[in-house]
Amino acid sequence: MVRAKLLVTISVALAILTSVMVYHKQPEKAVPVVSKPIPVNVEHSPKLASEAKRLGLDITNVNVTYKKNLNYGGVTSGATIYGFYQPPNTIYIRPDKPANERRVLAHEYMHYVYAQKLSDADKELWSQIYEQYQSKDPYIKRQLTFYTDCDELCKLDESHSMSCVEMPPATLQAKVNAYCDKFIPNRRLLF
């Protein structure tokens, strides 16, 4: 029991250090992420909760809140951080960028989905979608250049968020749209 708590504590500490809108390489011995976190104290900013509801996001087990001064060294120098997902269940959004708020919330939510809600079958499906379509997309390729130290797992995670949130449905294959719509039912509000 003590060992399990220590592993969870270490896992959370590593996640805090390595996951800020950028998914970095896993440590040599990666600690498995709990598939369904049990929130101790779920908090929602009323405005962000309202945006999540409009998009159809299930934030029941997710802390969604504002945080100033989002700084992180894992992206290209000079890049602006608008939000980040902190495992296992917290999404932070910069309060001073309201024009991007809905899209940033959805992007970070998709990181949460990738890390916590996807079944192995869904992860395999996304891997196939990425290989077949998204890895070749010029927008995805260009956006991934902003993330330093981005390995294949990082590319899958980031393309998962980018494809479902930043790319208009008309530009995506039907298979990609169907996949993204499972997690963001009203994502057309993003465009």
Supply the pLDDT for residue 94.
87
Go through the chain and tell me how many residues it has: 191
pLDDT above 90 as % of the chain: 35
Supply the pLDDT for residue 80.
73
Q: pLDDT per residue over 39-64, tens digit each? A: 445 678 898 999 999 999 999 999 99
CA angle, residues 130, 54, 144, in degrees to nearest 5 = 25
Half-sphere exposure of 31 (CA within 13 A, CB side): 16
Give CA separation, 115 vs 33, 68, 108, 121, 189, in Å.
7, 24, 11, 13, 24
Supply the pLDDT for residue 161.
94
Residue 49 belongs to what domain range?
A: 2-190
Supply the pLDDT for residue 79.
63
Is residue 31 within 8 A of residue 88, CB to CB? The reply is no
Supply the pLDDT for residue 108.
95
Supply the pLDDT for residue 75.
52
- Collapsing DSSP states into helix, strand and coil, what is residue 154? helix
Distance CA 93, CA 105 (A): 7
> What does pLDDT average to over the chain?
77
- Is pLDDT above 60 for 66? yes
Number of domains in the chain: 1
Q: pLDDT per residue over 109-159, tens digit each? A: 999 999 999 999 988 989 998 888 888 889 898 888 887 777 888 888 999
Q: Mean pLDDT across the stretch 77-90?
A: 80
